[in-house]
């Protein structure tokens, strides 16, 4: 496994739940990073909405991201991960898993494909989810 790619991707996950997420990701990503995920397709840091990430920390302040598996070569990295925590009002556990694939260019994250179980996470937040 490529140690530099592993370091970059691990720093990405370490930064997602930090108050300075935008500054951290700006250092790790190209200015025109492409983000493909369940919430949409984005170019640049706009896809990493610091306000959304901040609200997640407020709703469930003890959220943790655990890397379950990682495979990396010279330009790409695939990660299987779990986000878990506890809802403060109810002490109910909160958890979802996903996979993210990264393309690295010149030592920076240039493209991210994230796939995760948004429906299960929303149900745990007591948001009704209509399945078709």
Please report the pLDDT score of residue 60 as a whole number.
65
Mean pLDDT of all residues in 75-89: 89
Residue 129 reports pLDDT greater than 70: no
Asked whether 96 and 117 are in contact (CB, 8 A), the reply is: yes
Please report the pLDDT score of residue 98 as a whole number.
93
Residue 91 reports pLDDT greater than 60: yes
- pLDDT tens-digit map of 57-75: 666 677 889 999 999 999 9
Nearest to 63 by CA among 54, 51, 73: 54
Non-local (6+) Cβ contacts of 78 within 8 A are 70, 71, 72, 99, 100, 101, 102
Asked whether 116 and 101 are in contact (CB, 8 A), the reply is: no
- pLDDT tens-digit map of 3-38: 999 999 999 999 888 888 888 889 999 999 999 987
pLDDT grade for 51, boundaries at 50, 70 and 90: low
Asked whether 60 and 85 are in contact (CB, 8 A), the reply is: yes
Q: Are strands 40-43 and 29-37 parallel, antiparallel or unpaired?
A: antiparallel
């Amino acid at each position: 496994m490529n140690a530099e790619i592993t370091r970059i991707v691990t720093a990405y996950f370490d930064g997602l739940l930090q108050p300075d997420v935008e500054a951290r990701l700006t250092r790790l990503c190209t200015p025109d990073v492409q983000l493909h995920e369940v919430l949409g397709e984005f170019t640049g840091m706009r896809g990493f909405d610091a306000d959304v990430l901040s609200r997640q920390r407020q709703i469930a302040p003890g959220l943790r991201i655990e890397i379950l598996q990682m495979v990396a070569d010279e330009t790409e990295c695939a990660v299987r991960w779990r986000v878990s925590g506890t809802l403060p009002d109810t002490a109910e556990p909160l958890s979802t898993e996903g996979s993210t694939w990264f393309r690295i260019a010149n030592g920076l994250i240039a493209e991210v494909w994230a796939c995760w179980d948004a429906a299960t996470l929303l149900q745990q937040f007591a948001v009704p989810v209509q399945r078709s």
